[in-house]
Structure 1
Amino acid sequence: MRAEIFLQGLISFLIVAFGIPSFAPILGPIAAALGYAIFWRAIRIYPFAKQRFWRACLWYGCISLIQLSWMTAIEYQGFYILFVWLSLSLWLGMQFGLLSVLIPYNRSLKLPRILAIAALWTLLEWSRYYFLCGYSWNLSGIAFCNTSAIQFAAIFGVLGLSFWVIFVNLIGLRSFLKKGIANYLIWLGLAFVPYLFGWGHIFYHEKHMTEDKQFSCLLVQTGLLPSEKTPIQGKIRAFISPYEQWRKILVHLKEHQDKSPDLIVLPEAAVPFSSETNAYEFKVVEQIFFEIFGEIPNRIFPEMLSPYGDPSTFRVTNLFWAQSIANLYESEIVLGLDHAEEGGNSYNSAFHFIPFSTALTRYDKRVLMPLAEYLPFRWLMPLVKNYGISDFFTPGTNASLFYGKVPLSASICYEETFPDKVREGRLNGGKLFVNMTNDGWYSSSRLPSQHFEHAKFRAIENGIPLIRSCNTGVTAVVDSLGRCIDRIDQHDGKKKLQSGALFASMNLYEYSTPFLFWGNWGIVFLSGLFFGIFLCFKKQFHW
């Protein structure tokens, strides 16, 4: 008996732990249909709740260790990130242990209990968005990412898919226990619902897409490690001059000089220095432009006045470089830069440039990373000082849009994984999501892939396309159905960091979704309702 239980636990562990696209996409549908059910079938024989709790805690905690293994990339984070990795995995394991207490000992599962368990897991996943800066990784619904079932997110978002994963697994568990053809057919039918919806969803919207909404973009991936991008203590020799970093960007853009992109996007914190720091000699900047592009008219350079430069010193800012590129290509530009204000506040920002215009607009990142971008507790200051961190960002306050050829809704890095944050930009009138990211802090890990998986959900939930430019990561163009049109991966076939510029045209086809109407609150309300009914009537009806 023990050997059988261990084998079931091991098989279910392998299916669920590796059943996400960044590991083994083929296991995703299996995990979504029966991965959890196999485990619950094994532990339901234990009569005491604490027995089921600790076994489930260990099982899911180890799954989290696998799925969050990108946190073991300690080169730039230091050893403290291993403590975070272990703590998060234990926390997630305890949540799943709490859930598994509701699996009844050696008796059948009734539908109200099934709905309540799926509802509780959904509420637990939703609650993570509000822990410190918010935690949004390894949701159960991610298992559907590389299948047509991802389209189901248009109704209740990724949390709705998480609900469905647990619900179907519990129906599967019930069919294993009750047996009978009818029970198995019900389980298989429910398991196929998201896929059938997805096929119909794609078919319907493909019929309504027109070719008159084409939009072109040029996305730059710089391919620099953090130590190459900014001076880091102990790695100073790796730092690349900001002049050379800009030169590399211009060389990538030069490869597509014969094209006319509507929008050029550079990644988060694309180059060192705050946006308005007069760090560059104008003559050197001018010479670099001439070396790469040949004879170009001087009118492409903006007037050397604040915030572009200082005429008294003949020095210019990062904004000067960006506006010059916008003027040269006659294209809008969005790029990420740090921004400091006189009052002392500093921001992780995105800037929008329009050719030959001084109408410069800015978006400030709202979801900041603990320790790296903000300090959650003062007692952590000695720890971060060991890594040379002494200044922190101020969070932005609103989902402002960039107005040009089409209204652009920007997000920076981790924000992209928060459904309701991204949805705000769409509600404000955004027609295209633009994300700027730097996944290089966890180089040679699965973080870039997992990050990109979340991006595809945001496009489907809101019914508009998404583009992303990464320093290192997955630079990509995604249509409003979550399908990748083109991409640059983090590494090439030889595991070398890739850099370059991706030119792509996309269809700006958009559509309204139920998720756009109710956001996460739709599935949260239903989950609260199911769980509340269960708590109120479980004794009365012996659920």
Structure 2
Amino acid sequence: MIGSFKQLDAKRREREAGKPGINLEHPLLKSPILPYVGSILSGIFLALGFPGFGNATLMFVALVPLMFAVHSASVKRAAGLSLLSGFVFFTMSLWWLTNLTARVEGTGLKISAVLGFAVLALYCAIYFIPFGIAVALGTRKWVGNVLWKNVRFMFAVSLVWVGSEYLRGILFTGFPWNPLGVSQYANATLIQVAEWGGVSIVSAYIVFMNAGAFITFRQYTHGSRAKIYKPHFELMIGLVPIALSVAQGMNTLMNRQPRHENVTVALVQPNIEQQAKWDSAMEPEIKKRLSELTATASRLGEVDLIIWPETALPQTVNLSVGNRDRLSFAAGEGIPLLIGANSYQDGKYFNSSILFDSKGEYAGHYDKQHLVPFGEYVPFPGLMRKFTPIEIDFGHGAGSSVIPLQGKASFSPLICFEDIVAPLSRNAVLAGARWLVNQTNDGWFDPSAQSEQHLAHAVFRCVENRVPMARCTNTGVSGIIDAYGVVDRQLKPMSEGFTAGLLYPRPIGQEKTFYTRKGNVVGKTGLIGGIGVLVILRGGIRIKRRKNEAE
């Protein structure tokens, strides 16, 4: 492969030998503020590619301004510019977190919410730094007129980016929100490759394409290309993985395996205002709304399961005693009911999903594993608790629960943001779940882009493991996602109602996907390979500097 690259490149250089290059010497392009403009533009373009703005195609060139900003910068300056770009991106894409100020009382807590948002955006921005450094060092070492070195650069910076995203998803319990690949959740043909490499491989394709575009533009601006209408090998190579994935995705979607077994679920979306959930005076109204929606859904006929969202029940359920009386208001006409509620077990409180069978008897439950810091527990409580409204810490669930459903395929619940944590879905499928349920309450942040961004992550969990998911939310987006990431939604966000539909569980005996069997190999490879790239680049620059000093 490298040999053919060299031959093609040699022929290109022979054809273009002696042609005058295009040098842009305008004073504006030498302005010291231009790198900051490029850094900020990339942050804006990246944010515009995610739900809330929805310009997903922009992602394939969104990093180019940042790459130009850092390509000739020192390591320290490249790190600063990358941090700025990341901060702009996360500030825009996580802006919905500021809605917390309307959910808490007191000036101190409101200020804490804003500061927490800023700190989180800054923390996430740190993971842009390795990419910026890799671009700065890699441009000096590899980028130029030699094709195979340019392609090496494209692979190298893609590894670094993917490794940084993977690290962000696991370090300090992880915050894997909005990796680049998630922006493509509505592109069903492109994302089918996630069954092999998860969302990480889609992120890698995006960065690879950006790197090809950067090299193309840079060769014009730095005088190595004379005719801007000529095709460019690096740009064409950057398109290859995307084109192959789209072709593979089309083949997958057109040759879906037939699935005959189905489950009919009814999803209740009560649209309860977050403050009302804390008001004991609103408890009768909440129960009435849940009861009416549940009763109406049960009259559809042939419903196998009715689902409520996260913490829908305005009471704590003690799993050590009977609860038929507490749920008598929500009689489901002999239909199993999966509720979201806080539970009390062995002296601890849990955020739980609890199944009651057609007779109203307890039939199984799941306790949330991946708790939200400052939402369900307080790190360093002696120091930090005074800055939060959280008075008690919830307990961590012991692991995935595969819950049998009368006469139907078993499922595993995921609560709140657990559907953004890819290993939890994978572990549930490995444990035997044939479909997934996500119960969440995005009312903390709605109305905002958060609910659509949240849905986008769930799409990848379905494709990665080839299982469908029923998403039941308090304020939206409720719906059914099939095993190929196609979303069926009937309810508008911020509306009260219910929706029902069919989902098709993973067939018994069907081989599990590569991703389910092996995990995020692409992410792990990116982390190890990215570290190696940075070590090689940093070491190579130091050796070259010493040689120059010696001469």
1:123 paired with 2:163, answer yes
Moved over 4 A (4+): 3-11, 536-543
Q: 1:317 aligns with which of 313, 326, 334?
A: 326
- Deviation, 1:517, is 1.3
Q: 1:121 to 1:8 in 2, by over 3 A?
A: closer
Unaligned runs of 5+ in 2: 1-28, 105-109, 144-148, 220-224, 545-551
> What does 1:44-443 correspond to in 2, within 5 Å?
44-46=71-73, 48-73=74-99, 74-77=101-104, 78-104=110-136, 107=140, 108-109=142-143, 110=149, 111-147=151-187, 148-178=189-219, 181=231, 182-205=233-256, 208-210=257-259, 212-231=260-279, 240-256=281-297, 257-276=299-318, 306-308=321-323, 316-318=325-327, 320-321=328-329, 324-325=331-332, 328=333, 330-341=334-345, 343-356=346-359, 358=361, 360-384=363-387, 387=389, 389-404=390-405, 405-443=408-446
Question: CA shift at 1:522, angstroms?
Answer: 4.5
Residue 160 of structure 1: CA displacement? Answer: 2.1
**Are the equivalent residues in 2 in contact too, given 1:115–1:530 (CA < 8 A)?**
no
CA contact 2:160–2:526 (8 Å) conserved in 1: no
> CA 1:536–1:43 in 2, change beyond 3 Å: closer, same or farther?
closer
Match of 1:35 among 59, 62, 65: 62
Matched, 1:505 2:502: yes
Contact 1:260–1:331, Cα closer than 8 Å, also in 2: no
Q: Is the 8 A contact 1:112 1:530 kept in 2?
A: no
* Equivalent of residue 52 in structure 2, options 12, 15, 23: 23
Letter of the 1:49 counterpart:
V
| 1:226 Cα deviation from its structure 2 partner | 1.6
SS of the aligned residue for 2:85 comes to: helix
Matches of 1:535 and 1:5, distance apart in 2 = 25
Are 1:116 and 1:527, in contact at CA under 8 Å, matched by a contact in 2? no
- Give, in whole Å, the separation in 1 of the partners of 2:172 and 2:40: 33
- Please give the root-mean-square deviation of Cα atoms over the aligned residues, in Å: 2.6
CA distance in 2, matches of 1:19, 1:10: 15
In the alignment, the residues of structure 2 paired with residue 260 and residue 246 of structure 1 have an alpha-carbon distance, to the nearest angstrom, of 24
User: Matched residues in 2 for 1:139 and 1:534: separation?
Assistant: 21
Q: Is the 8 A contact 2:468 2:482 kept in 1?
A: yes
Letter in 2 for 1:267: P
Residue identity in the other structure for 2:190: A
User: Residues 132 and 376 of structure 1 are in contact (CA less than 8 Å); yes or no, is this contact kept in structure 2?
Assistant: no
Matched residue type, 2:261 = K
Shift of the 473–465 alpha-carbon distance from structure 1 to 2, 3 Å rule, reads same
Moved more, 458-467 or 157-166: 157-166
Judging changes above 3 Å, is the alpha-carbon distance between structure 1 residues 432 and 199 closer, same or farther for their aligned structure 2 residues?
same
TM-score (norm 2): 0.81
Q: What amino acid does structure 1 have at the position aligned with 2:126?
A: M
Contact 2:40–2:84 (Cα < 8 Å) also in 1: no
CA contact (8 A) 1:70 1:446 kept: yes
Residue aligned with 1:104, SS: helix
Q: Which amino acid aligns with 2:283?
A: P
Change (3 A) 1:540 1:380: closer
Contact 1:268 1:413 in 2 (8 A): yes
1:176–1:213 distance in 2 versus 1, CA, 3 Å? same
1:50 CA drift (Å): 1.8
**Aligned residue identity for 1:83:** L
CA displacement at 1:360 relative to structure 2: 2.2
Aligned-pair CA distance for 1:168: 2.3
Task: Tell me, yes or no, if the aligned pair for 1:229 and 1:240 is still in contact at 8 Å.
Answer: no
Partner Cα separation in structure 2 for residue 258 and residue 469 of structure 1: 18
TM-superposed deviation, 1:262: 0.9
Note the C-alpha offset of 1:96: 1.0
Superposed CA deviations along residues 373-392 of structure 1, whole A, max 9, x for unmatched, are 1121123454256x3x3122
> C-alpha separation between the residues in 2 aligned to 1:445 and 1:523?
29
Amino acid at match of 1:218: A
Cα distance in structure 1, aligned partners of 2:37 and 2:366: 52
Larger CA deviation: 373-382 vs 362-371: 373-382
Contact 1:116 1:531 in 2 (8 A): no
Matched letter for residue 276 of structure 1: N
- Cα distance, 1:506–1:535 mapped onto 2, change above 3 Å: same
Report if aligned partners of 1:209, 1:509 keep a CA contact under 8 Å in 2: no
For 1:57, what is the secondary structure of its paired residue?
A: helix
Q: Which amino acid aligns with 1:217?
A: V
Q: Secondary structure of 1:175's partner?
A: helix
8 A contact 2:79–2:129 mirrored in 1: yes
- Quick check: 2:469–2:482 contact (8 Å CA) kept in 1? yes
Q: Is the 8 A contact 1:213 1:507 kept in 2?
A: yes
Which 10-residue stretch deviates more, 53-62 or 185-194?
185-194
Which whole-Å CA distance do the structure 2 matches of 1:337 and 1:460 have between them? 28
Which amino acid in structure 1 is aligned with residue 98 of structure 2?
A: T
The alpha carbon displacement at 1:526 in A equals 5.3
Partners in 2 of 1:224 and 1:379 — Cα distance?
A: 33
| Residue 103 of structure 1, CA deviation | 1.4
**Which amino acid in the other structure matches residue 152 of structure 1?**
V
**Match for 2:353: what amino acid?**
A
State the partner residue of 2:467: 464
Structure 1 partner of 2:146: none
Q: How many residues align?
A: 482
